[in-house]
Each structure stands twice: as C-alpha cells, then as structure tokens.
C-alpha cells in the first residue's frame, strides 16, 4: 500500500545514485611479468607471500598476479586458495596499492584456504605497507 502523498516511483527515485567506481587491477598473465616481480621486494605473511616491483613505465595501472604451487594441495585446494587471493586483492589493492606497481600473491600450504578472510585482508594491508616502506 502506498501512503497518501508518496511518489509511486519511490522516495529515492529523484536522488542521483553515486556511480559505482571500481578500479580493478589488471591481471598479470605472462611469465616474464611474474619473473620480474620475483626480482622485486618480498613480504611474507601468515596466509600468503606478497611480491612487488615498480614497473617504471608511464602506465598508472596496478597489476596483480596469483600463483599457488602443488605444495598448496590438489587442484581443488589450489583453486580455492587463488579465489581467496583474488578476492582480497579486489578489496585492498585499489585503495592501498600503488599505481605503476606489479604485485604477485603466492598462496601458502594450508594457510591461505584456512585463514579467516578478515585476517587475510588485514595481512594484505600490512604487507603492502611494509613493502612500500622498504621500497623508498
């Protein structure tokens, strides 16, 4: 039932909704990019290892790659770990990552899939802070 004097379209029909801004990091796909990141800075955390390196090019994009070796487990375990890494990167990197940097998140055996998600988010923020603190 619509109250008398209320707009049929709803109370917020005239209000402009802010656009959903999503700065998605680009995905690293080439082996050379992963090898270059391996030569950069490294920060180990309980749930993963973060590698990062400044590209030094004109592109302001943040790029990220994900990897899990067979030490993490079978294909199901590796895929679950990579899904979790992709999700924490999606949440944290747009705000805490630096444009012009490449990052690689490496899953850890039993830790990446078992660690609480909130702890993984906090770990990535801490790792980025430490990584960029070292890179001065």
Predicted TM-score (pTM) of this structure: 0.80
Q: Write the pLDDT tens digit of every residue in 28-86.
A: 999 999 999 999 999 999 999 999 999 988 788 999 999 999 999 999 999 999 999 99
Domain count within the chain: 1
Q: Residue 73 is part of a domain; what is its CATH number?
A: 3.30.230.10
Q: Is 66 part of any domain? A: yes
Q: Is 44 part of any domain? A: yes
Answer left, alpha or beta for residue 18, where phi above 0 means left and psi between -120 and 50 means alpha.
Answer: beta
Answer left, alpha or beta for residue 65, where phi above 0 means left and psi between -120 and 50 means alpha.
Answer: beta
Checking 5-14 for CB contacts under 8 A at 24+ apart, the result is: none
The strand pair at 48-54 and 41-44 is best described as antiparallel
Q: Is 118 part of any domain? A: yes
pLDDT of res. 60? 84
Q: Is 4 part of any domain? A: no
Q: Is 3 part of any domain? A: no
Q: Write the pLDDT tens digit of every residue in 19-29.
A: 444 568 899 99
Q: Is 75 part of any domain? A: yes
Q: Which domain holds residue 120?
A: 26-134
């Amino acid at each position: 039932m619509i109250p008398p004097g209320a707009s049929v379209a709803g109370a917020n029909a005239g209000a402009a909704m802010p656009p959903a801004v999503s700065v998605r990091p680009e995905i690293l796909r080439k082996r050379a990019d992963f090898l270059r990141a391996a030569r950069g800075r490294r920060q180990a955390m309980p749930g993963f290892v973060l590698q990062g390196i400044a590209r030094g090019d004109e592109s302001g994009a943040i790029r990220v790659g994900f990897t899990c070796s067979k030490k993490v487990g079978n294909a199901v375990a590796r895929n679950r770990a990579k899904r979790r890494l992709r999700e924490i990167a999606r949440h944290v990197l747009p705000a805490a990552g630096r444009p012009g940097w490449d990052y690689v998140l490496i899953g850890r055996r039993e830790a990446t899939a078992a660690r609480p998600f909130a702890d993984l988010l906090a770990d990535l923020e801490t790792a980025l802070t430490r990584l960029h603190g070292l890179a001065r």
